[in-house]
Amino acid sequence: MNDIEIIRNICLITSTRAASLIAASTVALLSAVDNLPLYGDVVVGYAGSVIHSFPRFKERVERVITELCERELERSDGEGSRSGLGSGSMSKSKSERRVIMEYISESGLIGAAVLAAVVQSINDQTK
């Protein structure tokens, strides 16, 4: 192997690991949601220059998310109970359960608006 191939492999391994960490974090958050749909699409918004601009990074994240969700669904289906991404009495094929990652260009503004709405909702509930 020459130096360029070594550096290329290091970059590939590092970026694949980073994509896997992001995917695992995303699946963990989705699993924590009690009312996640048993089938259909779940859209996850993202922002950031690496996931948006790094070649094939988003595709790597989506691939690992799909693999992890399938494992979680199989594990939950085997237990006969619904835990996070698990399946209850309804049975749908894996192809009908997708996590779609969508870029949010003005995420700072949207995040601030969501935070303001949550704070307002909490204030309204405490009155």
Domains with residue ranges and CATH for the chain: 3-126 (3.40.367.20)
Is residue 16 over pLDDT 90? yes
d(CA 4, CA 116): 49
pLDDT given for residue 91 in this prediction? 43
pLDDT one-digit tens code per residue, 66-86: 888 878 777 766 654 444 444
When mean pLDDT is compared across 35-49, 50-64, 87-101, the lowest value belongs to: 87-101
Percent of the chain clearing pLDDT 70 (strictly above) = 78
Average pLDDT, whole number, for the chain?
A: 78
- Looking at the chain, the number of H-run helices and the number of E-run strands are 4, 2
Is residue 103 over pLDDT 80? yes
